[in-house]
Amino acid sequence: MKVRSGFVSNSSSSSFIIIGVSDDTLMEQIAVEDGKFSDGEYKNIECGYGVDSGKVINYYGYWGEPQYIGIDIAKKLENQILPELRKEFKDKIKKEFNLNIPLSKIKLYYGEVGE
């Protein structure tokens, strides 16, 4: 995967700024509830260009291998602070999937995914 500083996009990548998780165990738990993970592997994820949508959250990675699961916060940053956005993600995951994600595992991620 290419690493760039700044948001650069072309036909085979996507830039992002999200609140979410990158812990493999937590990502799998969320993806199981979202119907995107079973039998030890991710299913039906089309991250060829970097992002795939789930029921409530997005998957960020490349070619079916997500590196992050989260919610896009680019527009929300104008009106909310990061602790509020972390709590919003936690509450959304609890409401939709009945999973309790520790706030310490929810972080800000940004960059570019896809190839």
Tens of pLDDT along the chain (115 residues)?
444 444 444 455 667 889 999 999 999 999 899 888 888 887 777 665 567 777 788 888 876 678 888 998 888 888 899 999 999 999 999 999 999 999 999 999 988 776 5
- Would you state the pLDDT for residue 1? 45
Exposure string of 19-53, with b = 16+ CB inside 10 Å and e = fewer, is: bbbbbeebbbbbbebbebbeeeebeebebebbbbe
Task: State residue 64's pLDDT score.
Answer: 66
Reference 26, options 62, 63, 70; nearest CA is: 70
The residues spanned by each domain of the chain are 14-113
3-state secondary structure of 83: helix
> Contact 86/18 with Cβ under 8 angstroms?
no
This prediction's pTM: 0.76
